[in-house]
Structure formats: structure tokens, C-alpha cells
Chains A and B, each alone.
Chain A
């Protein structure tokens, strides 16, 4: 089955997410769609999958125009999609998820044929060696296993074109390799695979054809033999270096000391299992690891968002364990949360009010419980200028800002207090290259001002670029702390739980 997109355009209000995109996907090939975050890749695939209506252009399947009114039509035409955010119903079993939407039923009351669904899951699972139990409840499965369920779901519909949207974002390097092997296997069996990604390494590993998208437009195609530098400059529109310019670190005294920190979740399952490390003033400790291995809990435990059951956190000699968030923030911790829209900003508040979210009850913004709107405004204007927030004014709502500018607002707020420790989780997720460079620069600057810095990132490139030391987390523990020049394969194996000695 051959798929062709001609002049597909999709607009959101005044914003053109896809601008006259042409694309041809041949059967039995892997077609990589390469582009930065926000370039319009996912929008394009959602158009293709019938989730969005295109404003212009057409989609052809085997040369015939196909008008997909919804995902159902796309699936019927043989297109399957594994979304970046899995489309799995958590309390359902694997079999129920796989059968959903095209259930085999028995009798006049259309009772579910669960046995049939189980059989189908087992068939596909065995064919690719997935080891998925059809009766397992999805929410109990690991992220990697959930992704395999998604693939089973698509294949059970006899998909001839499989779209994988940023499939490796949540996988370890080794799981990624496994997935890429599956992709090759699928290709060899005649399936066309569209791989949406911004990771050059993966593209080079499996792609037969590469289409690069920037700012909603196709800016070129490339052969898999193209070098990383060539692809990268095509993707971002200029030559980029993946390294961050930073002077040698001058570590001082131990600023943060974490000792056998243990955190349980609501059900009593351990999320952190006795984590110990320290960070010195003037150094960046980057925490690497696949998402969901305790990084979030670690940062939140230091801040005091989640209660700890054992261990201690000491900042500059002062114990913070069990203290309220307000207290830890005011002791000199800056916190850039992983999910800025959820935890970092109040979308319905103005920029000015977002900038005082943590200090609204302190001088000079208020006195005796009364706010001083003029001070709030003038301080906000200063910050907006300093951090180069592109906005119509400090009264604009935070929700009106782009991701990069939202992140700048969060940074501006967190860096406006005198800091002993800066914790930044996924500080550049979803940002454009310009904002990434800005954020990196400010983080390094904070380090050079003498703060201890913890960076949590699932992007290995970012970790390597920023870190003075790298701590790798796996399964709620720190596997090891290694120097930043440790090679990728070693880091990858450590992210899967192997110790450095074993990994190397």
C-alpha cells in the first residue's frame, strides 16, 4: 500500500501548523519524519489519521483520494498509529484494549468474544516475541510493554502503514534498539513504517527515506547516509552544536546532601529506595534515566512535595526533611518542574502574577497581607525584559505564551530569589532551539554564580552537554555517579540497571 500526501495544510487560528506538505510513503520502507519539537510532525500525522481535518490538500491511498472523516476510516484503509501518549484504557486488560473499536461479538446482545481477542493478542505477541499476557491490566504494565500493546493493537487491524509518533521518548536505549529491530522486522514483512522523531541516531539506524520538517514545512529530504550534522542543520535551519559552552566547573563545599532517601507512593510501593548523593556549590549534577525510575519523586522529595519515609535532605547544613514546600523554597531552592503547564504556571493568571506565585506574600510585593499591584507590575516588567520573554505585556495570560516563553517565565521566577540549589526537571522539553540555548545558558550561569544545580533529563544529549557529573537512576535507585565523558553505551546499560563496571 502506497500513501501519498499532497499539499496538506492545517491551521489553528492564525497559526499554520502544516504548510502545503507533500509526502510519499512506499510500502516496505521505513520513512522517517524528522523535525524539532513543535515543527508540526504530530499535527501532520493526526491529519493523516483523521483526528484533524486538513484545511487544504489531499491524502491518496494507492493513488486514490481517501477522505478520512475519523480514525475509523483511516484504520479501515490500513493505517495504524502508535501515539506518543498511548491510547490505552488503563483499567482494561490488554485483550480488551486490543479489541476496542472492532470487537468480535457473539449473539444478538453483542456479547464480547474475549477468547477470540486473547487468541489474536497471543498470535501477534508470539510472532514478534513481545511476551504480552492478554489478561494483564494495562495500568500494571511497564511503559515498554504498553508500547508493544499499542503495536499489537495496530497490527491486529492488519495495518499496512504503521505510524510511530516519537516512540522512543519513554524507552531506555536498549528498549529503543529492540523497538528499532521490530521496525525492521515489520518493514521486511511489507509494512510501511512512518517514524516520527527528532532523534538523529534512530533515523540513521532504520530509515530508508528521510523527510525533514521545519516550522510546518518540508525543508528537504535526505538519505540515511547523511551525517548527523547535515541532518541537524536541516532540522533546525542552521548549524548547531550539541554542546553547551561552559567554563570548567569550580565545585565548592557540599551544598546539598541527600542520605538514603526513601519514598513510597500512595499504595505503599517504593518509588525511591534509599537514594544518597551530594551536590557541591558550583557544579551541575545531571540525573539521567528513563522516565519513571524515580527522578520525579527524587526532585519532589527534596522540595517536600511528596513525603519521605526515611532518609534526610540537608541543604547548606540545614535539615529540610519533612519541612513544608514554602520552607524549602525559602531556604534557597529554585524548582523548575518537569511539567510546566501543570506544576509551573497558572495558565489563567497573567505573567505578572505568575512571576510572584511563590513570593506574593513577601516584600516588596505585599505588606501586611495586602498586595501592591504597582510593584508587582514594575518588577514583572523587569523580569520579562531580563529573560527575553516575548509577549504583548505583563498582563498577558500565561496561556497565551509559547512553550519556550512559558519556561522563561518559570525560570525568571525561580532565579529571582537568591538560590543555593536549583532543581530543573526536563528544562528544555518541547522548546525550540533558541529557547533551549537560552535556558542552558541561564542554568550554567546559575552554577557559575555558586549554586548547586540538579538537572533531570531524559535526553541523553542534554545530560551529557550540561553535566559536571552524571547520576544514573534506575528503579528508584542511583545506579552510579559517573563523569560526563562516559560513553553512551555504558550510560545506556546503566539506565537499564547495570552498574558501571558491568556495563563498561
Chain B
């Protein structure tokens, strides 16, 4: 026993100050990237626009409580000022790194707004009567992000439990298809909206069957399921729906403006004047954020995704959890698929999701496997798409095809660790075998 008493003094030494993390080169990435972007903005948008031109921005709608007039700004000055603001933010970020301080989430957001403003000023310069519709742009961003948000939430729910979901695209497409068919058959888009998650869940079930029960590589299954869903929906589109046009109609869901809130300028139309699916999206993000991090369900799901054996040893059914989450994830993406048909007033079209599922996957990674992050990344991508459309209307100096690449390029930068490092759930992609 004496050894024990003696020894207890010698153990568990406090970490000495020299243990403190040394500033690594990686931490300079953010300020450097921000700085480069700001400089490019200054040179291209600021100095690249002609002096003397003006850009008009319009903000309000007639139905708002009060209206703000369209305002016109000198193009060059605006772009330069916005770029300089961005440059200042980059400098602040560099200072923060040198002081080992953390900057808040506001910094990249404000930075992004500044650069976007510079871009818009530049793009809208000298277009005379054509205004930059700020409200329209933002509304478009919210609406276009709907399938991305649902898709990336699907990814979050699956991957947090350890199943990689490459089949988001297929789930969206299946949801879009069934929503259109059921909605058309019943003549009620809301019944279609209910059917959409069922279709997605079916795809999720297949994913779970092959990955959890048969241990097939999750990426393989996801890729192949996408092909399968494209095949089935396109085949039925070319046969069943071709022969029965009444099964594939243009339905629409009415906008349900929220009283009072929808009348606030900018915020109202952007956030509170949408159809049911958009509100469901808000709810899904909110509920999942809380459930994933504060509830028993969330704790268990995350444990299963991080260390399934540990979860098993405390009596959590690993594979059951994974199956459930994969199906739930499929249902979420399926619901998002309804966006393409019943929620947009469109009939089903062959391969109409056109890669949205993969952008959703990217949004999930950019959002670091968090519902709130997925939302932010999805809205950013939605904004990029809306911007492309907007610039198409005003006759943009940037070819729309190049602009369409933006989300993909951003994602590559993100996974390459240039926009912060993401850590996926540790047990992701590994079948749990007992």
C-alpha cells in the first residue's frame, strides 16, 4: 500500500504552458483567402467598372407597410467602397489570427455581403432602367435553397449515424415523381406533398438494406441507387405518364403569407410569404438542430456515428439506429423533392433534379454536418443560383455558365480545407459488424 501513497504524487501532471497549441500555418489560410478575394473584388468590380455609371437597386414591394424608393448609386464608388470594406475585414481577420483571437461567424457573412454588393454594383452598372431586385434576389435564394436544405438535412441525419448518403439525388427525384403523380391523381397537391417523403423513404430503405444488412460499400450503393431512381422515374415518365397525362399535371401550392410578418419590407417577402414547404423547411432545420444536440435521440445517433462499438456496449442498437436514420433521411430528401413538382406548380420531368442532390451533399459538408450549417450553405448556394438568374435578366457581364460553376468550385475549396476544416463522423462509411 505504501507504494500507492507515494505514487499518487508523481502522476497526472498538469499540462505545462508549452503544451499550448502553436500557431500553425493553416490558421493563416482564412485571412489570406479573404484578402485575395477582396483584392480581386477591388480590381475587377471596383476598378473594372466605368466611372460615371450608376447602378439602381430596388428593395420594396407595393404591399409592404412602407416602401423604400429605388435608389441609385454611382457604380464605381459603390464597388470600390464595398471592396475596401471587404479588404478591411480581411485585415481584421489577419490581426485576429496574429493575436490568436477567434472571429465570430459574422465576419465571413459581412464579408460575403460586401463582395456581393460590389459584384451587383458592377454587374448592374450602366443598365439604365433595369434595377437590381434585391428583394427578388433574396426571395429567390430562400426558395431555391428548399431542395438543398432538405437534401443536406437528409445527409446530416444519415451521416451522423454513420451512413454516407450519396443517394440524396435519387431521393429528391423519387420525391418529386411521387408527389407529382399522387398529387395529380388526387387532384390535391398537399396529398402529393405527403407522398413525397414516402418515396424518399423507400430509397432510404434500399440504402439501409444494402449498406447495413449486406455491408455493401455505401458510396457504391448511393451511386447505383441514383441510377436506379433515374431509370425507374424516366421509364415510368416515358410510359405510364405519357399514356396518362392526368397523372402528371401542373399543380401548385398557394403561398401562405404570415400575417403582419410578411408585410415587413425585405424580410417579409423574403422569409414569410411562401408556400407550406418553405415553412416546413424552417421547422425541419429548427427541430433537427435541437433534437440532434439536446435530445436522447440525438446523443445516441451521434454516438453511433462516432463510435458504434461504444454505443453497442451501452445497449444502443447500432444497426437499428442506422436503418431508422437512413429512412428518416430519405424521407426528408423525398419531401424536398416535392419542391420540383407540386410546390413549384410544375409537372414531373425526366431527371428534373439535375444534380441538386449533389449540391445538397456539398452543402452538408460545407455546413460541417450540422443542420444550421447545412441551412447556411444551402442558402448560399440558393443565392448563387438566384444571382445567376438575376444577372441573366439584367444582361450580366459574366456568362451564366461560369456563374453556375460557383457552388461546385466553392465546395472543392471547402473540402480541400481552404474554407475551414471539416471533421466527418468518425465511423462514417464503415459497416458495423458484430
Do B24 and A110 have beta carbons less than 8 Å apart?
A: no
Interface readout for A56-96 with B: 1 if CB under 8 Å, 0 if not?
00000000000000111101100001010011111110001
Chain B residues near A52 (CB-CB < 8 A): 434
Give A72's nearest chain B residue, CB to CB: B315
Quick check: is B10 within 8 A (CB to CB) of the other chain? yes
Task: Verify B311–A270 contact, CB threshold 8 A.
Answer: no
Inter-chain contact A174/B10, CB cutoff 8 Å: yes
Interface-side segment among A100-108, A320-328, A330-338, A352-360: A100-108
Q: Does A430 contact B (CB under 8 A)?
A: no
B401 on the A face (CB < 8 A): no
Which chain B residues (279-324) contact chain A, with CB distance < 8 Å?
290-291, 294-297, 299-300, 302-303, 306-307, 309-317
Q: With an 8 A cutoff between CB atoms, is B23 at the interface?
A: yes
User: Which residues 1-46 of B sit at the A interface, judged by CB distance below 8 A?
Assistant: 1, 3-4, 6-8, 10-13, 18-19, 21-24
**Does B223 make an interface contact (CB < 8 A)?**
no
Q: Quick one: given A101-B316, A497-B10, are A268 and B24 in contact (CB under 8 Å)?
A: yes
Known: A71-B315, A268-B21. A177 touches B7 (CB 8 A): yes
Q: Let me know if A270 and B22 touch, CB within 8 A.
A: yes
Q: Does A386 contact B (CB under 8 A)?
A: no
- Determine whether the beta carbon of B7 is less than 8 Å from that of A178: yes
A101 & B314 in contact (Cβ 8 Å cutoff): yes
Residues of A within 8 A of B116 (CB): none
Contacts A75-B315, A181-B1: A267 and B21 contacting too (C-beta < 8 A)?
yes
Which residues of chain A from 91 to 132 have any CB-CB distance to chain B below 8 Å in the complex?
91-92, 96, 99-103, 105, 109-112, 131
Of the residues B7, B8, B21, contact of A269 by C-beta under 8 Å: B21
Q: Contact partner of A103 among B3, B24, B296, CB < 8 A?
A: B296
- Tell me whether B404 is interfacial, beta carbon within 8 Å: no
Minimum CB–CB distance for A326 against chain B, Å: 26
Interchain CB contact under 8 A, A496 and B10: yes
Write the B396-434 contact mask toward A (1 if CB under 8 angstroms, else 0): 000000000000000000000000000000100000001
- In the complex, chain A residues 150-168 whose Cβ is within 8 Å of any chain B Cβ: 153
Contacting pair A270 B4 (CB below 8 A):
no
Q: Does A9 contact B (CB under 8 A)?
A: no
| Given A87-B309, A89-B306, A269-B22: A96 and B299 interface contact (C-beta under 8 Å) | yes
Query: Does A395 count as interface, using CB distance less than 8 angstroms?
Result: no
Are B307 and A90 in touch, CB under 8 angstroms?
yes
Q: A88-B310, A90-B426, A177-B7 are in contact. Are A100 and B316 (CB under 8 A)?
A: yes
Once A111-B294, A497-B13 are accepted as A-B contacts, the answer to whether A83 and B313 lie under 8 Å apart by CB is: yes
Chain B CB within 8 A of A436 CB: no
Q: What count of chain A residues pass the 8 Å CB interface test?
A: 56
Max count, chain A CB within 10 A of own CB: residue among B13, B297, B313: B313
- A71–B7 CB distance below 8 A: no
Chain A residues, CB < 8 A from B18: 270, 273
Cβ of A72: which chain B residues have Cβ within 8 Å of it? 314-316
Task: Determine the chain B residues whose CB is within 8 A of the CB of A173 once the complex forms.
Answer: 7
User: Does A415 sit within 8 A of B, measured CB to CB?
Assistant: no
- Secondary structure type dominating chain B contacts: helix
A178 with B8: in contact, given A90-B307, A111-B295, A267-B21 (CB under 8 Å)? Answer: yes
Q: How far is the CB of B135 from chain A (nearest CB, A)?
A: 36
Q: How distant is B26 from chain A, measured CB to nearest CB, in Å?
A: 8
- Residues in B with CB closer than 8 Å to A493 are 10
0/1 per residue, A249-266, Cβ < 8 Å to B? Answer: 000000000000000101
**Residue of A with least CB distance to B16:** A475
Instruction: Determine the distance from Cα of A387 to Cα of B317 in the docked complex, in whole angstroms.
Output: 45
Is B11's CB under 8 angstroms from A174's CB?
A: yes
| Minimal beta-carbon separation of B431 from chain A (angstroms) | 17
CB distance from A174 to the nearest CB of B (A): 3
Interface centre among A51, A89, A110, A153 (most CB of B within 10 A): A89
Q: Which residues of A contact B295 (CB under 8 A)?
A: 105, 109-112
Interface string of A475-500 (1 = CB under 8 A from B): 10000000000000100110011100
B303 touches A100 (CB 8 A): yes
Chain A 176-192 residues near chain B, CB threshold 8 A:
177-178, 180-181
Set of chain B residues within 8 Å of A475, measured between Cβ atoms: 13
A101 and B23 in contact, given A89-B303, A110-B296, A180-B4 (Cβ under 8 angstroms)? no
Q: A residues within 8 A CB of B23?
A: 268
Q: Is A174 touching B299 in the complex (CB atoms < 8 A)?
A: no
Question: A87 near B307 (CB under 8 angstroms)?
Answer: yes
Given known pairs A71-B312, A181-B1, A270-B18, the reply for A103 and B299 (CB within 8 Å) is yes
Give chain B nearest CB distance to A70 CB in angstroms. Answer: 6
Q: What A residues does B314 contact at CB under 8 A?
A: 71-72, 75, 87, 100-102, 153
Is A142 an interface position by the 8 A CB rule?
yes
**Are the C-beta atoms of A101 and B315 separated by less than 8 Å?**
yes
CB A262 to nearest CB in B, in angstroms, measures 11
In the complex, are the beta carbons of A174 and B307 less than 8 A apart?
A: no
Is A101 in contact with B21, judged by CB distance below 8 angstroms?
no
B313 touching A81, Cβ below 8 Å? yes
Most chain A C-beta atoms within 10 Å of own C-beta, residue among B4, B22, B302, B315: B315
Chain A residues contacting B4 (CB-CB under 8 Å) are 177-178, 180-181
User: How far, in angstroms, from A86 to B313 measured CA to CA in the complex?
Assistant: 11
Q: Which one of B24, B294, B311 contacts A101 once the chains associate, using CB atoms below 8 Å?
A: B311
Query: Chain A's nearest CB lies how many Å from the CB of B25?
Result: 9
B22, A264: Cβ atoms closer than 8 Å: yes
Given A88-B310, A90-B426, A144-B12; A110-B297 close (CB under 8 Å): yes
Asked whether, in the complex, the Cβ of B313 is within 8 Å of the Cβ of A71, the reply is yes
| Interface pair B296/A112, CB less than 8 Å apart | yes
Q: Which residues of A contact B12 (CB under 8 A)?
A: 131, 142, 144-145, 175
Asked, given contacts A49-B313, A100-B316, A101-B311, whether A144 binds B296 with beta carbons under 8 Å apart, the answer is no
CB distance from B405 to the nearest CB of A (A): 31
Contacts of B6 in A (CB 8 A): 174
Q: For the complex, is A308 an interface residue (Cβ under 8 Å from B)?
A: no
Q: Inside 8 A of B434's CB, which chain A residues have their CB?
A: 51-52
A299 at the interface (CB under 8 A from B): no
B364 to chain A minimum Cβ distance, whole angstroms, is: 18
- Report whether B11 and A496 are in contact in the complex, using a CB–CB cutoff of 8 Å: yes
CB neighbours of B13 from chain A (8 A): 475, 497
A142-B12, A174-B8, A177-B4 known; A51 vs B299 contact (CB < 8 Å): no
CB closest chain-A residue, reference B18 = A270
Minimum Cβ distance to chain B for residue A81 (Å): 7
Question: Would you list 27 pairs from A and B whose C-beta atoms are within 8 A, ordered by A residue?
Answer: A49-B313, A73-B315, A75-B314, A76-B315, A87-B313, A89-B307, A91-B306, A100-B299, A101-B314, A103-B300, A105-B296, A109-B291, A111-B296, A112-B294, A173-B7, A174-B6, A174-B11, A178-B8, A267-B21, A269-B19, A269-B21, A270-B19, A475-B13, A492-B7, A493-B10, A496-B10, A498-B10
Q: Which 5 A-B pairs have the closest CB atoms?
A: A72-B315, A101-B314, A174-B7, A268-B22, A87-B310
